[in-house]
A and B are shown apart, each in its own frame.
Chain A
Amino acid sequence: MSDKAKVLGADQKRKRLQGQLIIVGVIIVICVICHFCTGGKLLSPVNLKVLSIQWTYPLLIGLGMMFIFSGGMVDLSIGAQAILAGNIGAIFVEDFGLGYPGLILGCIGGVILCEMVSASCSVFFGIPSWVAGLGSALVFEAIATIICSARSGATGSAVVYLKNCRVLGTFPWIILIAAIVFAVAYFLFNRSKLGLNLQAVGSAPEVSEAMGINRRKTIIIAALVGAVIVGIGTTTQLSYTGRYTAMSGMGSLAGIFKSLAAILTGQSFGKYFSNPVGVLVGSFIVTVLFNILTLFGVPSGTYQEMTLGAVVILCGILASWKIKGVVK
């Protein structure tokens, strides 16, 4: 490499590293300040354990969504997929006695099946992905509600409770699973042929096709990988909470709100972090924020979510500070 090219490359990397250190530093400082403001609760060992467990769900769902969204699809049916697959997994365990294989098969297999239906509608039939996603969400929500209602006749409850096979939602297994999934997702996205092709397809579809990349195949395989990750997230969350409540009328969107916020926050730091690390940082910010608000006694629901929205916007503003674009 020529000296000039080396200097330019090193300069860019230095700026990136500076940005990364500043972001991580600011997060740590805020956490320390909040720790004292909450009377030493935030960073207490007990709360840190709770935090780390709560961090896993937005992280895993966010990573799955990252693979699905990066190819250009906006699939909002993921919350509904998780609800349907989670209930199938719980039924496999509780009603059919299939144990862990049933739990994993129901959750991961269910999400894969649902995501393939939703993605195929968009990729092969040319339906805009957000339309296909919303349509699919209504269908998946309805199926989950029908299954749970039908089961309530026999059990007396419209909610399928997972009483057995809950180890995957306990500490430290849930953290270990999330860490492994993050590592795999990181390398798949940044260092594998699929991940690099996916990024090319998402940001420059015409160029990528001209370079011989099969756009449809890449999107579908990425959606499959994303579905597996969402499925793992569904499994751990079901094991942690013990239930997925079926809902209708697009209520499932609320289930992916934190993950969406994590992706948006992560994307706003896109100049400094690769997408998987962005999701990791974003999901941490979201989880910590909710935790802090709860410790401060802010009512859950409207006020907490209003604050989250404001923080997402603030992160976007701060991350794009001093970035200049051309006025067209």
Chain B
Amino acid sequence: MADQIMLKVENVCKSFGPTKASNNVNLVLKKGTVLGLAGENGSGKSTLASMICGMQRKDSGKFYKDGKEFDPKNPGDAKKHGVAMVVQELGVVGPLTGAINMFLGEMEKYKKGPLVDLKAMQRDAYKQFDQWNLPHVPLDIPAGELQIEQRKLMELARALNSNPDFLVLDEISQALSQDNRDVLYKFIKKFKEGGRTILMITHDLEEMVEICDEIAVLRDGEVVETRASSEYSMEELKRLMIGREVSGDYYRDDQEESYQKEVILEVKDLNVPGKCEHISFELHKGEILGICGLSDAGIHELGSAMFGLEEGRTGSLVVKSSNTELKKPGDMIRTRGAYLSKDRDAHGLMLDDSVGDNLIVPSVRELSGALAFLSPIKTRRLAQEASEAFEVKASGLGHIIRRLSGGNKQKVNLSRWLIQDLDYIILDCPTRGVDIGVKAYIYSVLKEAKAKGLGIIMISDELAEAMGMSDRILVMKEHRQEAILSRTCDFTEEKIMEAML
């Protein structure tokens, strides 16, 4: 079966103004296999995937599916040909329930006279979850109230509604915690066993090599290499993606818990019932404190609770240098702190504003001159510096954020805070959706910031990242603090997993 061709991409080109997102792309995807698309942010992976799924039209070239020419005009058309996709950025209708979201555009079969049978819809939705052994998420509440991870799982189940034989997964695993990643891997195995094909985009190269049968490397819109994943070494894959050698040891190379004695932030009995309960710890100057847990352990809620976004929070968070208690988001900003949410689109970026405007927003107070006017020279300089430092791939500072790739959005989101003179920062999944090069850069910036005395709380779904970067790891289990482990003696996967489970 693996010799039969499911999809063929022939000389496909796509341009956005002067930018060539896809340049004569040629690929062959066989039945019953998983093809990984590797490449830096902005290399054209998502563009290619969205053309296959009918979300964008190609400029030239051809697709062939099952030997016949295939030119999807829209996602519905692609669906009719057995092609479905889970998009990189979250795509749900917030006010409607998860069950309705799953069957949007396909309600005909649930019509009972003039009305729609919502119960049957929900029943079928859960059947879809069960069929593919996906963990249930609440489908009777507005989808906007679900966590990112739950929404991703719902999107995956939604994509499977049409019983596709070709599925595109665009950076789905990075929204998932370790236990749900395992669920995803089992799903992928089951899916391809039925002679179906997956086109997988992920920045987790270890995962890609492990899961995919073949890997195609894209650089600047062109396929530079395609071969069996077993034939790539990790270093070679990175080199092909970036176009130069990338150091493999991007995590910390020391094995010691090392930070200054001075406490920056003291958290005492922080409690948000049902979300994060009785959490206490101290963050020291120059410390990276990792926070880990399984899905639903409450790690992301802890971040938003510390920032002051969760209703009904009790306990105290005190910035020791000024003895200020943090009660609302403004308090954190005023005490030279910052918080980056995992959901950058909803809670971080101004999507319809320019790269430049997004970059300067946190620094407006510092950039303001007499009478609160902003100096155009200063603001432009700052935005330019941040953009260059993080190598944001955009046509300029005027480029609208919504049109950037996911990784480039994250670069903007991060850089605007990291260029500031902060005392502490809470980062919720800072490397979600960023490529290997940017990941390495972010880690180097964090190491540098740590050396300068910045206190960093890093909430992470990736165990390797937390172990690689943290001095201590606070492990959460069922919304409670289970353990605080030290880099010096406790950092083994077994110990951390034992605390998580």
Q: Which of B67-103 contact A (CB under 8 A)?
A: 74-76, 79, 87, 91-96, 100
Binds A, one of B18-26, B247-255, B308-316, B449-457: B308-316
The 3 A-B residue pairs whose C-beta atoms are closest, nearest first, are A212-B76, A212-B105, A2-B136
27 residue pairs of the A-B complex, CB under 8 angstroms, read A1-B139, A2-B136, A4-B136, A5-B139, A6-B138, A191-B118, A192-B115, A196-B107, A196-B116, A197-B104, A199-B95, A200-B96, A203-B94, A203-B96, A207-B92, A207-B93, A208-B104, A211-B104, A211-B105, A212-B76, A212-B105, A324-B311, A326-B309, A327-B330, A327-B333, A328-B349, A328-B350
Chain A nearest CB, measured from B179 CB (Å): 13
Residues of B near A199 (CB, < 8 A) are: 93, 95-96
Interface string of B275-307 (1 = CB under 8 A from A): 000000000000000000000100000000001
A12 to B145, CA, bound (A): 9
In the bound complex, do residue A326 and residue B96 qualify as a contact, i.e. CB atoms below 8 Å apart? no
Within 8 A of B (CB), among A187-209: 187-188, 191-193, 196-197, 199-200, 203-204, 206-209
User: What residues of chain A lie closer than 8 Å to B104, measured between beta carbons?
Assistant: 196-197, 200, 207-208, 211-213
Within 8 A of A (CB), among B175-197: none
Q: A187-B115, A327-B329 are in contact. Are A193 and B107 (CB under 8 A)?
A: yes
Separation in Å of the A66 CB from the closest CB of chain B?
13
B296 contacts A328, C-beta separation under 8 Å: no
Given pairs A6-B138, A12-B145, A207-B93, 13 additional interface contacts (CB within 8 A):
A1-B136, A8-B138, A191-B116, A191-B118, A200-B93, A203-B95, A204-B94, A206-B91, A212-B74, A213-B105, A326-B348, A327-B329, A328-B350
> Which A residues touch B93, using CB under 8 A?
199-200, 203-204, 207-208
User: In the complex, what residues of B have CB within 8 A of residue A211's CB?
Assistant: 75-76, 104-105
Q: Which of B92, B114, B135, B333 contacts A188 (CB 8 A)?
A: B114
By the criterion of a CB under 8 Å from any partner CB, how many residues of chain B are at the interface? 49
- B75 neighbours in A (Cβ, 8 Å): 210-212
Q: Chain A 46-76, CB within 8 Å of chain B: the 1/0 string? A: 0000000000000000000000000000000
Contact (Cβ within 8 A) A5 B138: yes
Flag whether B417 is at the interface (Cβ < 8 A): no
- Closest Cβ of chain A to B425, distance in Å, is 15
Write out the residue numbers on chain B whose beta carbons fall within 8 Å of the beta carbon of A206. Answer: 91
* A residues in contact with B111, CB < 8 Å: 193
Q: Would you call A216 an interface residue if the criterion is a C-beta within 8 Å of the partner chain's C-beta atoms? A: no
**How far, in angstroms, from A197 to B104 measured CA to CA in the complex?**
7
Closest to A327 in B: B329
Q: Taking the complex as formed, is A13 at the interface, i.e. its CB lies under 8 A from any CB of chain B?
A: yes
B141 on interface, CB distance cutoff 8 Å: yes
User: In this assembly, does B108 line the interface, its C-beta being within 8 Å of a C-beta of chain A?
Assistant: yes
**Which single member of B106, B116, B126 contacts A192 (CB below 8 Å)?**
B116
Q: Which of B200-247 contact A (CB under 8 A)?
A: none
Identify the A interface with B (CB < 8 A): 1-2, 4-6, 8-9, 11-13, 187-188, 191-193, 196-197, 199-200, 203-204, 206-213, 322-328
- How far is it, in angstroms, between the C-alpha of A213 and the C-alpha of B76 when the chains are bound? 9
Query: Considering residues A200, A212, A324, which has the most beta carbons from chain B within 10 angstroms of its beta carbon?
Result: A212
Q: Which residue of B114, B138, B307 has the most chain A CB atoms within 10 A of its CB atom?
A: B138
**Using Cβ atoms and an 8 Å threshold, which residues of chain B touch A192?**
114-116
Q: B residues engaging A (CB < 8 A)?
A: 55, 74-76, 79, 87, 91-96, 100, 104-108, 111, 114-116, 118, 126, 135-141, 145, 274, 296, 307-311, 329-330, 333, 341, 346-350, 361
Complex CA distance for A323 and B108, rounded to whole angstroms: 36
Judge whether A191 and B141 touch: CB under 8 Å: no
CA distance A326 to B93 in the complex (A): 19
Q: Flag if B91 contacts A212 (CB, 8 Å).
A: no
Q: A6 to B346, alpha carbons, bound, how many Å?
A: 26
| Cα(A203)–Cα(B347), bound, Å | 17
Q: Which residues of B contact A2 (CB under 8 A)?
A: 135-136
Beyond A326-B347, A327-B330, A328-B347, is A196–B140 a contact (Cβ under 8 Å)? no
Task: Assess whether A326 is in contact with B329, with CB atoms less than 8 Å apart.
Answer: yes
In the assembled complex, which residues on chain A have CB atoms less than 8 Å from the CB atom of B79?
212
CA gap between A188 and B87 in the complex, in Å = 30
- CA–CA, A303 and B75, complex, Å: 54
Cβ of B105 and Cβ of A196 under 8 Å apart? Answer: no
**CB-nearest residue of chain A relative to B361?**
A328
> Contacts A9-B138, A196-B107, A197-B104: A204 and B92 contacting too (C-beta < 8 A)?
yes
Whether A193 pairs with B141 at a CB distance below 8 angstroms is no
- Determine whether the beta carbon of B108 is less than 8 Å from that of A193: yes
How far is it, in angstroms, between the C-alpha of A192 and the C-alpha of B296 when the chains are bound?
Answer: 33
CB nearest neighbor in A for B100: A196
Once the chains are docked, how many angstroms separate the CA of A325 from the CA of B309?
A: 7
Q: Who on chain B is nearest to A328 by CB? A: B350
CB pair A324 B141 closer than 8 Å: no
| Closest Cβ–Cβ distance, residue A145 to chain B (whole Å) | 39
Question: In the complex, A212→B54 CA distance in Å?
Answer: 11
Please determine whether A322 and B311 come into contact, CB atoms closer than 8 angstroms.
yes
A162–chain B nearest beta-carbon distance, Å: 32
A324 close to B309 (CB less than 8 A): yes
* Assembled-state Cα–Cα distance A12/B150 (Å): 15
A9 to B329, CA, bound (A): 28
Residue of A at shortest CB range from B76? A212
**B126 neighbours in A (Cβ, 8 Å):** 1
Complex Cα distance, B104 from A204, in Å, reads 12
Nearest to A207 among chain B residues (CB) is: B91
- Please indicate the chain A residues that have their CB under 8 angstroms from the CB of B311 in the complex: 322-324
Chain A residue with the shortest CB-CB distance to B162 = A212
Per the bound structure, the CA–CA distance linking A5 and B154 in Å amounts to 12
**In the complex, A327→B337 CA distance in Å?**
13
Nearest-neighbor residue (CB-CB) of A16 within chain B: B141
Q: How far is the CA of A210 from the CA of B170 in the complex (A)?
A: 15
Docked Cα-Cα span, A187 to B75, in Å, equals 29
Cα A104 to Cα B307 in complex, Å, equals 58
Q: Which residues of chain B come closer than 8 Å to A326, judged between CB atoms?
A: 307, 309, 329, 341, 346-348
Q: Which of B137, B311, B350 has the most CB of A within 10 A?
A: B137
Report the nearest A residue to B140, measured CB to CB. Answer: A9
- Do the beta carbons of A12 and B347 come within 8 Å of each other? no
Task: Find the A residue at minimum CB distance from B54.
Answer: A210
Compute how far the CA of A120 lies from the CA of B424 in the bound complex, rounded to whole angstroms: 54
Contacts A212-B74, A324-B309, A328-B350 given; indicate if A13 touches B115 (C-beta within 8 A). no
CA distance A109 to B413 in the complex (A): 53
A196 and B96 in contact, given A8-B138, A211-B75, A324-B308 (Cβ under 8 angstroms): yes
Q: Report A-chain residues with C-beta under 8 Å of the C-beta of B108.
A: 193
Residues of A within 8 A of B115 (CB): 187, 191-192
CB distance from B472 to the nearest CB of A (A): 27
Tell me whether A4 and B329 are in contact in the complex, defined as CB-CB below 8 angstroms, given that A200-B104, A326-B347 are known contacts.
Answer: no
- Cβ of A11: which chain B residues have Cβ within 8 Å of it? 274
Looking at B75, B106, B140, the one whose CB has the most chain A CB atoms below 10 A away is B140
Q: Which residues of B contact A324 (CB under 8 A)?
A: 308-311
Instruction: Report how far A258 CA is from B79 CA in the complex, Å.
Output: 45
B55 contacts which chain A residues (CB < 8 A)?
A: 210
Q: Which residues of B have CB within 8 Å of A1? A: 126, 136, 138-139
Enumerate chain A residues within 8 angstroms of B329, measured Cβ to Cβ: 326-327
Q: Which of A9, A188, A323 contacts B141 (CB 8 A)?
A: A9
The answer to whether A5 touches B95 (Cβ under 8 A) is no
